[in-house]
Amino acid sequence: MQKLSATEKGSISPGYAWYVFVLLFLLYMFDYIDRLIVVSLFPFIKAEWGISDASCGMLVSAVYWSILIFTFPVSILVDRWSRKKTIGIMAIVWSLATAACAFTRNFSQLFVARTIIGAGEAGYAAGGTAMISGIFPREKRARVIGYWNASIPLGSAIGIAAGGIIAEHFGWRHALGIVAVPGFIIAILFFWVRDYKTIDLVKTPVNSGIPVEKMKVGEIAAQFIRSRSLVLANLGFAASAFVTTSLMSWLPSYFHRTEGIPISRAGMKAGAVMFLAVVGAPLGGYLADKWYEKKPAGRMLLPAVTTTLTAIILFISFVFCTGTAQYLVLLAGGITAVAFVPAAVSVTQDVVHPGLRAMSLSICVIIQHILGSTLGPVFVGAVSDRYDLITAMSVLPLFSLFAGILFFVGSFYYEKDADRVVRVSIEME
């Protein structure tokens, strides 16, 4: 395994790098608040418009379908134009679209507004990941990405819990309007951060004594196809996203129906489960980096272990447990469910040219949304309509187990794929 060169760490102070990280963290948190607040509003929207569970699921999937369509074009802007400008513009768009949801008067209007939220959020994961990969050293990559991804369960928990509370007291439209404001403010601030210079797409390191040769289109495409560890990591991510998105979308309704409790309390219970992923994401990143130091394949072995544990936990919870026992088991699942993310995301950055990192993550996003996020909420909703929500949730462990198998197989190819990557200098503006 090649060691990290000092030039790849960039010319930015650690303090400033962490300042940029904080802004990225807050934006990602409000990304997920705006994305998932709607799930705790399902009962209110159903009561007002009389829509089905499958239609409710479509309000979540609309965001992911939009991300699916726009993420790759936006990631090209991230890699070839500017990280900070692209991120700032995206955050403004999704915040304004969330505010627009508060003024909708029927399902079609809300669906369109949710689609625009997805367009705004399309390249944020890719842009934020590329920026973090550029300003932090490789050996710390998984743990920093783990810290950053803790914003996902935090934002999800806040959105799910706050949505039901605000809706019960002021109405569901007010919930959407209120959460749109902070993200807009942070987006404006991001235009003033320092960015790293766009990296030339060359096959040999600059100043290495070897003639510089630019990559051709076919060679760029090969970066995302020839790496078996990358392909398997992307597929494992998709299977895991199928599960996590389904849990985030339907746990409030699951508790509301099975326990007969108010949606505000159900949202709080579901939010607590997802909130514990704040522990899981950083822990997963930390353990992945520690494993990486001893064995590079640990980058993929860690998600193989955690997704398998998630499958076991969900199976025990939905098949064998009820009431308090079930909730306690689900809390453990809240820790393991996203522990795979930091290491899996790091793989998308480790095994491709540094000038293609945003595009690499965007391909992961496309695959996970096609096969995971867009299908999960609708699948659970459709099975629930045909049978019941308990049956629908009981199927989810199979997808976590499949993810574990994919990550495990990918671990056999990771080190060879990472060794092929060209090391280049990263310079700040």
Residue 427, domain member (yes or no): no
CB 67 within 8 A of CB 365: yes
> What angle, 0 to 180 degrees and rounded to 10, lies between the N-to-C axes of helices 298-315 and 396-410?
160
* 110: confidence class by pLDDT, cuts 50, 70, 90: very high
Element holding 128 (H helix, E strand): helix 124-135
pLDDT digits (tens, 9 = 90+) for 23-36: 999 999 999 999 98
Residue 426, domain member (yes or no): no
Query: Based on the structure, what is the number of domains in the chain?
Result: 1
Residue 242, domain member (yes or no): yes
List the Cα angle 260/261/266 in 5-degree steps.
120
Q: Span 80-98, mean pLDDT?
A: 93
Number of helices (H), then strands (E), in the chain: 21, 0
**Token couple for 287:** 């353990």
Backbone dihedral angles phi then psi of residue 290, each to the nearest 5 degrees: -65, -45
> What angle, 0 to 180 degrees and rounded to 10, lies between the N-to-C axes of helices 124-135 and 357-368?
140
Gap between the Cα atoms of 167 and 170, Å rounded: 5
Gap between the Cα atoms of 332 and 336, Å rounded: 7
Residue 1, domain member (yes or no): no
Residue 282, domain member (yes or no): yes
Residue 331, domain member (yes or no): yes
Side chain identity, residue 93: V
Domain holding 81, by residue range, is 9-419
Q: Span 179-197, mean pLDDT?
A: 90
Question: What pLDDT shows up at residue 212?
Answer: 67
CATH number of the domain that residue 78 is part of: 1.20.1250.20
**Token couple for 241:** 């996203």
Gap between the Cα atoms of 111 and 37, Å rounded: 14
- In terms of average pLDDT, the best of 9-13, 168-172, 244-248, 401-405 is 401-405
Residue 231, domain member (yes or no): yes
Question: What pLDDT shows up at residue 267?
Answer: 81
Neighbours of 408 (CB within 10 A): 19
Residue 428, domain member (yes or no): no
> What angle, 0 to 180 degrees and rounded to 10, lies between the N-to-C axes of helices 124-135 and 341-350?
70
Gap between the Cα atoms of 411 and 43, Å rounded: 43
CB 340 within 8 A of CB 307: yes
Residue 105, judged by CB atoms within 10 A of its CB (0-12, 13-18, 19+), counts as exposed
pLDDT digits (tens, 9 = 90+) for 294-346: 999 999 999 999 999 999 999 999 999 989 999 999 999 999 998 999 999 99
Total-model pTM: 0.81
